[in-house]
Structure 1
Amino acid sequence: MSPLVPEVDKYDCTVIHEDIVKKVRENMPDEESLMDLADLFKVFADSTRVKILCALSLSEMCVCDIASLLGMTNSAISHQLRILKQSKLIKNRREGKVVYYSLDDEHVNNIFSQGLSHVSE
């Protein structure tokens, strides 16, 4: 470590603020909810799935349209759509032989928009 840069990772905390710890502990979600949230964020860790979510935030689309947009095969897109659907991030509707995909609800759009806003700062 350079002598000109202060060491910011060193903590000499010896006092536990019991009131704060108690308040936070009482308001923490249960373990299962936190694990589900971690799994949700894992779905966002794939750039192809993020691109699909971005596209679907702009318009309802079928597999062929998404594949054309992203320059991928229908099979590759279908695989990613299956993961997104299992995670309840997208939904589909059938019109004749064509299946159209869209974001599941406004929560998904909010998550996506907030994340994009955060990385754009």
Structure 2
Amino acid sequence: IKILYALFESELCVNDIAQVVGLSQSAVSHQLRLLKASKLVKFRREGKAIYYSLDDDHVRTMIALGMEHVEE
């Protein structure tokens, strides 16, 4: 959830995600593999860097609804 929330604002690389959520790069990479398999995140390659983002507007809507629920 922390990773999805971090990606809600913008696309990020593994290193940036790790810093935001306070996990190691290997832990973030493992979680991203699971999130990709679940079709919650997508990625694009730019040179050697890989940037991750939420897969589509449906995922963005789910995260927004979850955040609203937590804030109530």
TM-score range (shorter-chain normalised) is over 0.9
Of 77, 94, 113, the match for 2:28: 77
Count residues with an aligned counterpart: 72
TM-score relative to the length of structure 2: 0.95
Equivalence for 1:100: 51
Q: Distance in 2 between matches of 1:66 and 1:94?
A: 16
Match for 1:68: what amino acid? Answer: Q
By how many angstroms is 1:97 displaced? 0.4
TM-score of the two chains, using structure 1 as the length reference = 0.58
**Higher share of residues assigned strand:** 2
| Structure 2 runs not aligned, ≥5 long | none
**Aligned-partner SS, 1:92:** strand
CA deviation after TM superposition for structure 1 residue 119, in Å: 2.2
Determine what percentage of the aligned residue pairs are the same residue.
Answer: 60
Which one scores higher on RCO, CA 8 angstroms, separation ≥ 6?
2
Residue equivalent to 1:86 = 37
Structure 1 segments (4+ residues) deviating >6 Å: none
CA RMSD of aligned residues (A): 0.8
Task: Point out where structure 1 has 5 or more consecutive residues left out of the alignment.
Answer: 1-49
After TM superposition, list the pairs within 5 Å mapping 1:1-121 onto structure 2. 50-121=1-72
> 1:69 & 1:83 partners in 2: Cα distance?
19
